[in-house]
Amino acid sequence: MTQASRDWWRDAIIYQVYIRSFADGTGDGEGDIAGLRDRLPYLRDLGVDALWINPWYPSPLNDGGYDVADFRDIDPRFGDLAQAKSLLDEAHGLGLKILLDIVPNHSSWDHQWFKDALAAGPGSPERQRYIFRDGTGPDGSQPPNNWRSVFGGPAWERVTEPDGSPGQWYFHIFDVSQPDFDWENPEVRTEFLDILRFWFDLGVDGFRIDVAHGMVKDMDGPDLPYEDSGLLDRPSIADHPFFDRDGVHDIYRGWREIADSYDPPRLYVAEAWVEPAERLARYLRDDELHSAFNFEYLKSAWSAAELRRSIDSSITVLASVGAPATWVLENHDVERVVTRYGRDNTGAGTGSTRIAIGPTDLDLGTHRARAAALLMLSLPGGAYIYQGQELGLPEVLDLPEESLQDPVWERSGHTERGRDGCRVPLPWTVDGSSNGFGSNGSWLPQPAGWGSRSVEAAEADPDSMLALYRTALRLRRSIPAVEPLSWVDTDAEVLAFQRGGSFACVVNFGEAPATLPAHREVLLTSGPLTEDGALPTDTAAWLAI
């Protein structure tokens, strides 16, 4: 195997599959492995290199599968291990690699370990796998400190002991149904090394690591100065007690040894909401993880200056540890870019700021999202596409309250609607039951007119977002992958750069059309040029130079 093929991930396009909403192959209203297997040719034809599948493990789905009850199995609503193996074999046969989600920070409260911990009582080895503490106050009725869950409310929950008395408190950064593991316990560390081997032996090509900056905690840390911290954000203090602790790097060095023991080596991608970028780079040293999501870029507003700062920072800082940058516009936790870019406030938020307030111009948002796609796909490094992004799907903002399932809705006291709006099942056909998602409805209701945004509708339109993505992904393979980005001097409201001596990308953020730099050929544009060949506002062009 050549070094280039071993390092496929350095410039890969990875497609995120939120499996519950991708395709339903069994007719129960929920996406599953059978539906995904049926649609593998679609993903191959789209032109991606790999799939990242959100959690498919057994789970009560209190947090969309990130509350895992068994890390070595498949939830029956999605399929079974035999089907998973078939999926892996079929994907590999089509040239697609498969990444899974791993959730090492916590388990479900339905996990056998946590059930054992509750039954065994204080001080038991079973409780030492999780973070249990006595409460404060004369009767222990107050939580150990003021730490809050990023889903809202306290990060501590009191249990009832086996004898029926009020008991200890357990710690959960996220939902109450997601108790945190104690990673100071060697048994926890050994367990996850074995879980990694289990899936690698099955044929999985790598893992996306959920909350990769969590796990290690200073449980003797102080109360925190909370203000308006949002989902996955943290109070702006140094030496945070449960995010980005230095001890997490020892864990990943052990994980890297496991990945490198396979031929070809397996891949790790960090979901680490870490700032500044220099802190993120520490996760990507050559004996730790391979790659990380670029949340600075995702959160940037539609602005030439802001995006250029993010691009420069990402490339420069990550190059210091030999890691490639990655680029991402959407995922299952943030508002869809078509909606976000159609607002006055175009930056992505988290938590209570996840969705901006104000009217949305979807035509404007779509126009900008098309340009953003060409910008993202022309940058050096890898990129992620969230399912439906290639169709230009908007955020569904008017889901009925009774249909909402994100725990943010309940834990916020019904003041924050949560992330369900970007998780509505995909439309595959113009008509039919759930627009081709499945034969018997969908677990979240699809809005009226969803079929007009379907794959079938897009394939009939040569100017659709899908057509743009397919063409861009095909042409992208001819961009000199090893060539760095070099900026071209131009107007302040225009981003223009070259990759090598033959390719350039230009994006116009200004109000007036921009003159394109000298070029041999216009390879692709996100929208029509003006009659005299200028680049309109909110439009991108790829040029052969």
Instruction: Round to whole Å and give the CA distance between 524 and 140.
Output: 65
Dihedral of alpha carbons 210, 216, 220, 222, sign: negative
203: left (phi > 0), else alpha (psi -120 to 50), else beta? left
Which residue has tokens 């030439």?
A: 304
Active-site residue among 126, 271, 296, 406?
271
Is the peptide bond preceding residue 264 cis, with omega within 30 degrees of 0?
Answer: yes
Long-range contacts of 450-458 (CB under 8 A, 24+ apart): 450/424, 451/427, 453/391, 453/392, 453/393, 453/427, 454/391, 454/426, 454/427, 454/428, 454/429, 454/430, 455/42, 455/391, 455/426, 455/427, 455/428, 455/429, 456/428, 456/429, 456/430, 457/430, 458/391
Instruction: Round to whole Å and give the CA distance between 516 and 275.
Output: 36
CA distances from 369 to 106, 213, 346, 391 (A): 35, 30, 11, 11
Q: What is the 3-state secondary structure (H, E, C) of 209-229?
A: ECCCCCCCCCCCCCCCCCCCC
Active-site residue among 30, 49, 182, 210?
210
193 SS3 class:
helix
User: Is 28 marked active-site?
Assistant: no
CA geometry: angle 481, 301, 509, nearest 5 deg = 75
User: Is 239 marked active-site?
Assistant: no
Instruction: Round to whole Å and give the CA distance between 461 and 165.
Output: 65
Instruction: Round to whole Å and give the CA distance between 526 and 308.
Output: 19
Instruction: Round to whole Å and give the CA distance between 361 and 527.
Output: 17
DSSP 430: S
Instruction: Round to whole Å and give the CA distance between 495 and 369.
Output: 15
Residues with a known catalytic role: 210, 271
